[in-house]
Amino acid sequence: MFTSNKFLIKAVLLLFNISFLTTGYGQSTATLIPKKGLHITTCGLPWLTGSEISFFTPDKKHHHYYFTWWEQDAHVSRPGHERLFIGSINTAVNGVYLLEQEGNKIRTFFDCIWNLKEPGAADVIYAKIWLPYLSDAIFSSPTHKNISDWSSFYENRLQISTSFGTFQFYSSTPFKIRTDANLQPGEKDYTRRAQHLILYEDNIPVTDSPMLSRAFFIEEFPKTNTAITEDETNIVKSEKISQAWQPHGRSTMLLPQPKSINYQKGNYIIPENKKETTDPVVAVFREMLKQQWLLNEKYFPVIRVKDNKTLPAEGYLLSVNENGISIQHHTSAGFQHALHTLVQLVKNENGQLIIPAVKINDWPSVAWRGIHMFTGPTSWPLHKRMYDRILFPLKMNKVVLQCEQAKWKSRPELHNSISVPLEDLKKEFEYLRKNFNEPIPLIQSLGHMEWFLNQKKTGG
């Protein structure tokens, strides 16, 4: 059975509100995101990327409420004051996750009521901190000046000093620390994305009385590092490091790897002067190249294109020599694949953009090459960048677009904080078709649409 910890929360609040210097902060911004929890960005660096509270049966074989699965309505009463609603009165748990930010102080609160007669268990993750950003960090607490072993940590306070700021973490109850990371991924560990330091509390017993309450606060301290003086800059010298990485010969890593690639002698130097041409092929190539290089009004290559009906539907032949570029293709998709390969070949040598002389014969090995994308109120700009910079260059041709939570005109009462505008869906579908990708709309079944039954009350 748990206690409400009201006295301890007040004590932590009092400690947290002690005045500190108010200059030199890293301009941190905190927000609550549905199904993701707390996110904090400092000077544009998103270093704290999640939090959660979940409820289970006492043996933890079944869950009653899983934070990252359930829909959560968000509410912002005023700037710096946000909340997420947890569960509902007719489910196992209902409550609220609160966020308050005032200057360099960030306060969060979990207040939840257990609605079942039988007992349960709760796990709380107060913070998921992106671990690669902490490679040079120093960890300390009131009882440990330099923490290196997380297995024995069980305290209310933690300080982390990083290159982007120093942060104090306070909690109403002691918390633990663990890592969720695979810092040396193997060749086939492509599904493992987590690289987090986790501040958490687990196996909290819950009953129908009293309320489960937790408070967790973060405070940013002024930076103490001083600026480099002009005299100090004079002692900085460039030295050759024998262990430095070196490029692997002339070959360039192309993704996906072409069926056949044969490098020749020499390079094609892309002309820097603008040609008097309106060649649409060059225009398309330059738009792709702008994703990697700053072009301005320079770099207009010579590209010769030929239709070759003997090639596979999405296949192409690409040839580069000192005189220019030659592309053979049979379909528009094959032509686009050739241009994306060409962009990957471009590199800087002695201040010039060059393409190594090469002959490439390529076509897709798999007909269905796709990805599942989720939508939201701001997903379209992000998706477009991903398509242009990653998915199209990888020669993807299918996109399963989950779009049931759109702002459908017929049911405005179902619109919520993560609904995608219909105009954005239209733009995305059109853009995919324009780039020879098939958009496949995904509409979940009712078993995965609990938000559909959580309608806002209307009059009448």
* Span 80-94, pLDDT tens digits: 899 999 998 889 999
The yes-or-no verdict on residue 210 having pLDDT over 60 is: yes
pLDDT in tens, 394-421: 999 999 999 998 999 998 888 888 899 9
Alpha-carbon gap, residue 343 to 329, rounded angstroms: 17
Name the pairing type of β-strands 52-56 and 45-49.
Answer: unpaired
Nearest to 318 by CA among 332, 337, 301: 337
The yes-or-no verdict on residue 287 having pLDDT over 60 is: yes
**pLDDT for 279:** 87
Nearest to 415 by CA among 446, 445, 458: 458
The yes-or-no verdict on residue 382 having pLDDT over 70 is: yes
Q: What is the CATH number of the domain that holds 338?
A: 3.30.379.10
Answer whether residue 320 is part of any domain: yes
130 plus 108 within the same structural domain: yes
The yes-or-no verdict on residue 380 having pLDDT over 90 is: yes
Look at 78 and 15; give whichever has higher pLDDT. Answer: 78
pLDDT band at 48 (very low <50, low <70, confident <90, very high): very high
pLDDT band at 184 (very low <50, low <70, confident <90, very high): confident
202 plus 72 within the same structural domain: yes
Answer whether residue 375 is part of any domain: yes
149 plus 214 within the same structural domain: yes
Answer whether residue 396 is part of any domain: yes
Residue carrying the six token digits 């967790």: 216
Q: Which residue, of 312, 334, 362, is where some domain finishes?
A: 362
HEC string of the chain? CCCCCHHHHHHHHHHHCCCCCCCCCCCEEEEEECCCEEEEEECCEEEEECCEEEEECCCCCCEEECCCCCCCCEEEEECCEEEEEEECCCCCEEEEEEEEEECCEEEEEEEEEECCCCCEEEEEEEEEEEHHHHCCCEEECCCCCCCCCHHHCCEEEEEEEECCEEEEEEEEEEEEEEEEECCCCCCCCCCCCCEEEEEEEEEEEECCCCCEEEEEEEEEECCCCCCCCHHHHCCCCCCCCCCCCCCCCCCCCCCCCCCEEEEEEEEEECCCCCCCCCCHHHHHHHHHHCCCCCCCCCCCCCEEEEECCCCCCCCEEEEEECCEEEEEECCHHHHHHHHHHHHHHCEEECCEEEEEEEEEEECCCCCCCEEEEECCCCHHHHHHHHHHHHHCCCCCCEEEEECCCECCCCCHHHCCCCCECHHHHHHHHHHHHHCCCEEEEECCCHHHCHHHHCCCCCCC
**pLDDT for 300:** 92
Q: What is the largest CA-CA distance in the chain?
A: 80
The yes-or-no verdict on residue 111 having pLDDT over 70 is: yes
Answer whether residue 71 is part of any domain: yes
Look at 213 and 243; give whichever has higher pLDDT. Answer: 213
- Per-residue pLDDT, averaged over 109-133, amounts to 95
pLDDT band at 228 (very low <50, low <70, confident <90, very high): very low
355 plus 375 within the same structural domain: no
What crossing angle do the helices spanning 379-386 and 422-434 adopt, rounded to 10°? 10
Burial 220-239 (b: 16+ CB within 10 A, else e): bbeeeeeeeeeeeeeeeeee
What angle is formed at CA 156 by the lines to CA 153 and CA 159, rounded to 5 degrees?
Answer: 75
**pLDDT for 244:** 56
Answer whether residue 230 is part of any domain: no
Q: What is the CATH number of the domain that holds 152?
A: 2.70.98.10
Domain count, the chain: 3
**pLDDT for 416:** 85
- Per-residue pLDDT, averaged over 291-301, amounts to 88
95 plus 118 within the same structural domain: yes
278 plus 358 within the same structural domain: yes
Burial class (CB in 10 A: 0-12, 13-18, 19+), 278: exposed
pLDDT band at 138 (very low <50, low <70, confident <90, very high): very high
321 plus 379 within the same structural domain: no
Tokens standing for residue 5: 């910890």
207 plus 356 within the same structural domain: no
97 plus 15 within the same structural domain: yes
**pLDDT for 19:** 33
pLDDT band at 245 (very low <50, low <70, confident <90, very high): low
357 plus 376 within the same structural domain: no
Q: Which residue, of 362, 392, 426, is where some domain finishes?
A: 362
304 plus 169 within the same structural domain: no
Alpha-carbon gap, residue 94 to 210, rounded angstroms: 13
Alpha-carbon gap, residue 271 to 356, rounded angstroms: 14
**pLDDT for 337:** 97
pLDDT in tens, 214-226: 999 999 987 654 3
| Domain enclosing residue 212, as ranges | 6-183+192-221
**pLDDT for 15:** 42
**pLDDT for 218:** 97
Answer whether residue 82 is part of any domain: yes
**pLDDT for 396:** 96
356 plus 376 within the same structural domain: no
Phi, psi of 276 (to 5 degrees): -80, 80
